[in-house]
Structure 1
């Protein structure tokens, strides 16, 4: 009977293990087909049943990560690192670092980015972290330039994002997954939401959106349409669509349907049948078009060959920003990669303002978490400038993207999946209160350091002055000795630090001509030595050995120099008394050494008295060879250097506190 019971248990375990293996294989097939929601359900059930492996936790986290739910991704990546820390691959250092930002754990995020950097030193994401270790302070410089509101008038419970100005109609066109009822809506396996359609919304003088309605069925199909852009005359439209044309749904070699950009012309109020752009391809995605102000360049996002964001571990690419020239006949040049702004992570959703500022979203440049909106100026030759995070409140720890702005009205829109919205992604409108980098500012940070011991100094006062010595600002350092000032660019300033009982220090600085961060640390040192009763102040005052000529007790010139430090100390602390102790080595008779050392101590005392120190504050005693510091007693063979250690003077203080017996 017992054998039958064991056999039954083994049989049940085998069946259960087979079922789990089957479910894992099923989940992996869904994952590999980018059906992340269906894969997620399978992985969650396996974990619930107690079947937890490295692969399951990693891919379960990925199903949330690739759907931009970084908070849930953090939950599963945290379990992955807790249970399998020694075997986690470098790609997950980066992903986990991104999710840690979402839960405001920036220090921990930087730690994992440093681990990622050590494993992938060539990675542009690693380089950016090294160049901007204080990126949070830099982001603060750009923050506070926008006033935002949720465009709740048009947002639905599903995804609403990717707004575009349709200026000729005084409208905004955007993508939404809402169910209009006009088309049979299929759901996408990636996120289990209905496919996106393009909608129009009217705008008023304050940018408030209203009357959302779907665009023509010539534009909208049963698959994805999103992220349009219009020429300034409103007669040409570029937009993103699934690889679906003439009723044919096409896939790449792995069975994945990619994205393509289409173009349509308006004729007598009607949009023409959309046509594909020639640089589309079944094997990679081309999406999110944006036009230069003069309409001569088309920017877009793509993972085409030559993109920087190839993921070796998962065999897919992260998109880059690309650009093509639009020729007079409507044809296009070869695509060019904007290498100055692209990273090995994701760059997407470009927009070019009237003033030739390229706005885009990225997870590779230093941000607050998820996708952040960045800006870079475009020069007349097409080159791009410094990449700048545009700060809060546009950017958050969540995904923030699809930024557009009217430079004339300062009204614009962007998309975000931050909490408090109507659904998944929401559209927000904003008023730009201040131009990006219009006010060039420098963040000056630093530490006040104790020059002697290297520790930070708290409660030091750091004063900011102009060149006429007028005080501009002041700060008192905290426990870590740090200070921070926000200064104007291209201006001279003076930084001065003061603290009781310390020397002061100051530095003249000239701020750079462009916004950024500079670090200036200042060093100060005590001018009042911190001592307590019974301290030997010789080492504290860096007093060298007090030398006497052989068998002599008169004060030599070099000894006088060292004793002047004792004199200065006693003048600085008039309440203290000093006992002078003189010691010899053991190379003469004991009694002789005792007498000699006492004469030397008395000679030292007399010298200090002759320099004005009150005799009542000085005592002197010779100890001969009775307090040796090593083994060099009578009869022990020692080197001259070893004997030298025992020939010394000590200066023992008292009177700083209640008098103590220092023996």
Structure 2
């Protein structure tokens, strides 16, 4: 009996194992199909059951983690990303590292998030020019925070509400709310009813919103409509809608894409719904916004050829209403992650949401001064950004009021905002400067000071006042060069480093033109500095270059005569210094004579330590730099 029982036991175990394996395979096939159809809610449940049963594979963990991540289930996503990371021993793509980092950040595990983000920077081989680690990013984000007052809107529902902007006291927004009890249609991606566009009129007297209503007309359908933007005259609307083309409806296996449509208002009704030429059947376009001149449409797309999962694009709107070629906003905006929900202010400032740039959670709101040459990216900080998804930011630059959306509460809600401190103050740093004559220290008035960026492009230009002072504003996250110029002077420049702590600069200009008269030292004019080896009077190779300046001046002005005067510091005995200076003066003169200068035009004298330019006499402690000021050779015009 024992053998029989053992055999039965083996058979039972074998059958159980076979059924288990077969069941997993079928479930994975179903899950993969759901995943490829973007129905992440269903796929997640299936993947989760398979994974929790003990089945392990990088493919399973990847799909499960991503499905959870795309549905903002960050705590669960972080758990399975860790299993994927451990199983693969850290050999994962930069995309996975990014999502893992963002998931960790969303649940408050900042230290681990920073580690994964640093790994992402290394793996992606795209290190930011300004900041090299997560620690730097977090410090900047903290510094940028607390510039807004926010409040949840009274019109929010228990469903999804997002993407608000105001036009003529009417708030336009998107929502999955519905008062129709018969509505049973559910989007399998969000497990919510389909989105529609709503409006809510704002009563200025009561400072409250009236009951929201669905946008009347033919805009809303049985599928998704969202994120409308209106032209200033209110006659044209661009909005997002699920693809409902004939080709899509006839193809049962087609994946639902999003498209941007255009509608016109005629006699108070929206009509002439137009499927724009930039749309396609194999990719999505969404969330349109107009430039201030309404000649350019910004939007998000996952079309082929981008940098990441979704990128920001723009397309020119031509005079006849047709559209130009879609243009990607480039790597300063787009990452390997998701960029979405663009907004352009009246001053051409770009706000958008991203999970590819380092932030506080899932989607964070970022700012880019799009209208400038330098285009600095900034995380807008708290309280706009949180550990959850924050997006659909908009603001009026005159009133400083606007809106944004977030799922920091029980669901996606709309929040009002008031900017209390301009974001440009974060970017700008004032540099206060002084321009003086290098020889006399006299302030130079009306000199031109140019601010150049790292590409040597002119950012701004000012002139010094009557006391030689100037003030310029620079982007404190960039390296700049300040170039001072004035007629009859050699231009001089200084470098302003990133996040420069010293806001006061002094630029000294040396003359490049001097009146030829007695007493003028052409060494100062020509910046002649002759160095000798210690205790030597031989002319070094570098000194020959300096003496060539003097030789050319003598050739150009054959009537002038020079007295060569060599000086030493106070180190050593005075008698020794005197003799050393005489030898050095004679050596310099001999060089010029060897070049063909007439002897009657030159004299040479040594002054030793008799004519110090500072207080560094015997017994006074001075720096090497101060002693060097006294070790000089002058070329004084005597006739």
Per the shorter chain, which TM-score range? 0.5 to 0.7
User: Per-residue deviation at 1:83?
Assistant: 4.6
Q: 1:304 to 1:251 in 2, by over 3 A?
A: farther
Corresponding residue for residue 310 of structure 2: 319
SS of the residue corresponding to residue 212 of structure 2 reads strand
SS of the residue corresponding to residue 306 of structure 1 reads coil
Contact between 2:312 and 2:339, CA under 8 Å: does it hold in 1?
yes
Q: How big is each residue's C-alpha offset from its partner over 1:490-549, in whole Å with a ceiling of 9 and x where there is no partner?
A: xxxxxxxxxxxxxxxxxxxx997224463889xxxxxxxxxxxxxxxxxxxxxxxxxxxx
User: Aligned equivalents of 2:245 and 2:162: distance in 1?
Assistant: 23
Count of matched residue positions in the alignment of Structure 1 and Structure 2: 437
Corresponding residue for residue 222 of structure 2: 222
User: Aligned equivalents of 2:232 and 2:54: distance in 1?
Assistant: 58
Q: How big is each residue's C-alpha offset from its partner over 1:79-121, in whole Å with a ceiling of 9 and x where there is no partner?
A: 3334543554443222111111112333322222232333331
User: Per-residue deviation at 1:55?
Assistant: 3.0
Q: How big is each residue's C-alpha offset from its partner over 1:334-374, in whole Å with a ceiling of 9 and x where there is no partner?
A: 12111132222221101111222111111122221211111
User: Aligned equivalents of 1:31 and 1:186: distance in 2?
Assistant: 20
User: Aligned equivalents of 2:250 and 2:181: distance in 1?
Assistant: 24
Mapping for residues 624-643 of structure 1, pairs under 5 Å? none
Q: TM-score, normalised by structure 1?
A: 0.61
User: Per-residue deviation at 1:71?
Assistant: 2.8
Match of 1:434 among 402, 421, 425: 421
CA RMSD of aligned residues (A): 2.9
Q: 1:25 to 1:359 in 2, by over 3 A?
A: same
User: Per-residue deviation at 1:50?
Assistant: 3.5
User: Aligned equivalents of 1:297 and 1:390: distance in 2?
Assistant: 25
User: Per-residue deviation at 1:131?
Assistant: 7.3
Q: 1:129 to 1:28 in 2, by over 3 A?
A: farther
User: Per-residue deviation at 1:172?
Assistant: 1.2
SS of the residue corresponding to residue 188 of structure 1 reads coil
Bigger shift: residues 52-61 or 387-396: 52-61
Q: TM-score, normalised by structure 2?
A: 0.63
User: Aligned equivalents of 1:389 and 1:145: distance in 2?
Assistant: 12
Corresponding residue for residue 152 of structure 2: 150
SS of the residue corresponding to residue 278 of structure 1 reads coil
1:514 and 2:447 are equivalent in the alignment: no
User: Per-residue deviation at 1:226?
Assistant: 0.8
Contact between 1:179 and 1:185, CA under 8 Å: does it hold in 2?
no
Q: 1:129 to 1:51 in 2, by over 3 A?
A: farther
User: Per-residue deviation at 1:225?
Assistant: 0.6
Mapping for residues 111-260 of structure 1, pairs under 5 Å? 111-121=115-125, 123=126, 130=132, 134-151=136-153, 153-167=154-168, 170-181=169-180, 184-205=183-204, 208-245=208-245, 249=249, 255-260=254-259
Q: How big is each residue's C-alpha offset from its partner over 1:11-38, in whole Å with a ceiling of 9 and x where there is no partner?
A: 2221222112211221122112111111
User: Aligned equivalents of 1:203 and 1:366: distance in 2?
Assistant: 36
User: Per-residue deviation at 1:275?
Assistant: 0.7
1:17 and 2:21 are equivalent in the alignment: yes
SS of the residue corresponding to residue 223 of structure 2 reads coil
User: Aligned equivalents of 1:405 and 1:33: distance in 2?
Assistant: 36
User: Per-residue deviation at 1:140?
Assistant: 2.1
Mapping for residues 50-61 of structure 1, pairs under 5 Å? 50-61=54-65
SS of the residue corresponding to residue 148 of structure 1 reads strand
Contact between 1:225 and 1:242, CA under 8 Å: does it hold in 2?
yes
SS of the residue corresponding to residue 85 of structure 1 reads coil
Q: How big is each residue's C-alpha offset from its partner over 1:182-220, in whole Å with a ceiling of 9 and x where there is no partner?
A: 884522222221111111112244974431111125001
Mapping for residues 500-649 of structure 1, pairs under 5 Å? 513-516=474-477, 518=499
Match of 1:396 among 386, 390, 400: 386
Corresponding residue for residue 352 of structure 2: 360
User: Aligned equivalents of 1:329 and 1:245: distance in 2?
Assistant: 24
Corresponding residue for residue 81 of structure 1: 85
Contact between 1:226 and 1:239, CA under 8 Å: does it hold in 2?
yes
User: Aligned equivalents of 1:434 and 1:85: distance in 2?
Assistant: 46
SS of the residue corresponding to residue 211 of structure 1 reads coil
User: Aligned equivalents of 2:294 and 2:283: distance in 1?
Assistant: 25
Q: 1:432 to 1:407 in 2, by over 3 A?
A: same
Corresponding residue for residue 412 of structure 1: 402
Mapping for residues 449-460 of structure 1, pairs under 5 Å? none
Q: 1:365 to 1:181 in 2, by over 3 A?
A: same
SS of the residue corresponding to residue 132 of structure 2 reads helix
SS of the residue corresponding to residue 134 of structure 1 reads helix
Question: What are structure 1's unaligned runs of at least 5 residues?
Answer: 310-317, 444-509, 522-663
Contact between 1:367 and 1:389, CA under 8 Å: does it hold in 2?
yes
Q: 1:201 to 1:384 in 2, by over 3 A?
A: farther
SS of the residue corresponding to residue 361 of structure 1 reads strand
Contact between 1:250 and 1:257, CA under 8 Å: does it hold in 2?
no
User: Aligned equivalents of 1:54 and 1:139: distance in 2?
Assistant: 34
Q: How big is each residue's C-alpha offset from its partner over 1:542-576, in whole Å with a ceiling of 9 and x where there is no partner?
A: xxxxxxxxxxxxxxxxxxxxxxxxxxxxxxxxxxx
Corresponding residue for residue 329 of structure 1: 320
User: Per-residue deviation at 1:433?
Assistant: 1.3
Corresponding residue for residue 376 of structure 1: 368
User: Aligned equivalents of 1:341 and 1:36: distance in 2?
Assistant: 27
Q: 1:19 to 1:198 in 2, by over 3 A?
A: same
Question: What are structure 2's unaligned runs of at least 5 residues?
Answer: 431-470, 478-497, 503-639
User: Aligned equivalents of 2:346 and 2:90: distance in 1?
Assistant: 51
SS of the residue corresponding to residue 249 of structure 1 reads helix
Match of 1:62 among 62, 66, 75: 66
